[in-house]
């Protein structure tokens, strides 16, 4: 049984593993259908997609017509201006075949110049707030990649009372003292304000370029592949109370992630176990 946790102030009891809709970027409807069946089998009740994830919203749409009540549905806009973000939000609703989404997130909001535009008087945030007032969006979040994600999320929370944040979290990232300190500061603020914390890149072994060879998975980094290694990575994330794990963007890794989460017994792998795996696999930080 995959444990559940209240998703911040939304009140929704989300499974601690959220389905990362990036996995549907380049798959067929048949593959998407099989994946959605797997989500239902494991009781996953929270989907996190984005307008920029290829065909993802279109592939999820048919399922929302039948199972809207079974999922907390989140999407994202990568647009920075009010007009473009507004148009993209409405397009996402059409593609997802829904009247509203539970969570609308400002996507990858890390660059300072883009941040100023999106958070400005005619920025994407204005469109998100307007959508919330209209009832087509229930909550508003912000996401980001890279080492500056926690810093920029703290800045975002100073400007607006976001309902959720999303950023990288894995063993190798937390070996970076500066990132770890900023991550902990962000989580502390989120706990005080009851802001949901979503984490990504749990399965990252390192940048593909660091290992050579052909790319074997849809994710843009070299992922962990063996079940035992995936177990450690997933259990390490779930071993931290209060955070959610967004599944990797590859439908073939998803069954292993769900299997690992389903067997999580509350024990977090030790630093010694994680260090041994990192050395054996030559694991490297994805962001530096």
Taken in order 232, 2, 166, 84, the sign of the CA dihedral is: positive
Distances 199 to 31, 66, 116, 147, 165 between C-alpha atoms, Å: 25, 28, 24, 13, 9
Assessment of whether the complete model's pTM goes beyond 0.85: yes
Q: What is the pLDDT along the chain (288 residues), one digit of tens a residue?
A: 899 999 999 999 999 999 999 999 999 999 999 999 999 999 999 999 999 999 999 999 999 999 999 999 999 999 999 999 999 999 999 999 999 999 999 999 999 999 999 999 999 999 999 999 999 999 999 999 999 999 999 999 999 999 999 999 999 999 999 999 999 999 999 999 999 999 999 999 999 998 987 888 989 899 999 999 999 999 999 999 999 999 999 999 999 999 999 999 999 999 999 999 999 999 999 998
Reported residue count of the chain is 288
Top-level CATH class of 4-280? alpha beta
Token pair of 259 as six digits: 């299997």
Q: How far apart are CA 147 and CA 193, in angstroms?
A: 23
């Amino acid at each position: 049984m995959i444990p559940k946790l209240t998703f911040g102030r939304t009140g929704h009891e989300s499974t601690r593993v959220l389905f990362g809709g990036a996995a549907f970027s380049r798959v067929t409807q048949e593959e998407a259908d099989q994946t959605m069946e797997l989500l239902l089998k494991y009781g996953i009740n929270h989907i996190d997609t984005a307008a920029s994830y290829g065909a993802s919203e279109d592939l999820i749409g048919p399922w929302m017509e039948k199972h809207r009540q079974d999922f907390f549905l989140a999407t994202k806009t990568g647009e920075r201006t009010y007009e473009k973000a507004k148009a993209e939000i409405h397009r996402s609703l059409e593609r997802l075949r829904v009247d509203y989404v539970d969570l609308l997130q400002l996507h990858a909001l890390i660059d300072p110049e883009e941040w100023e535009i999106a958070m400005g008087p005619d920025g994407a945030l204005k469109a998100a707030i307007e959508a919330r007032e209209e009832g087509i969006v229930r909550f508003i979040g912000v996401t980001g990649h890279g080492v500056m994600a926690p810093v920029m999320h703290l800045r975002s929370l100073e400007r607006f009372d976001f309902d959720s944040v999303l950023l990288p979290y894995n063993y190798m990232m937390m070996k970076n003292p500066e990132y770890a300190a900023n991550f902990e500061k962000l989580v502390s603020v989120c706990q005080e304000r009851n802001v949901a914390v979503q984490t990504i890149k749990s399965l990252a072994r390192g940048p593909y370029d660091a290992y050579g060879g052909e790319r074997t998975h849809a994710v843009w980094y070299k992922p962990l592949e063996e079940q035992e290694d995936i177990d450690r990575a997933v259990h390490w994330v779930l071993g931290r109370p209060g955070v959610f794990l967004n599944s990797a963007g590859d439908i073939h890794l998803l069954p292993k992630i769900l299997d690992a989460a389903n067997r999580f017994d509350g024990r977090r792998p030790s630093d010694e176990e994680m260090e041994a795996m990192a050395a054996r696999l030559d694991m490297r930080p994805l962001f530096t």
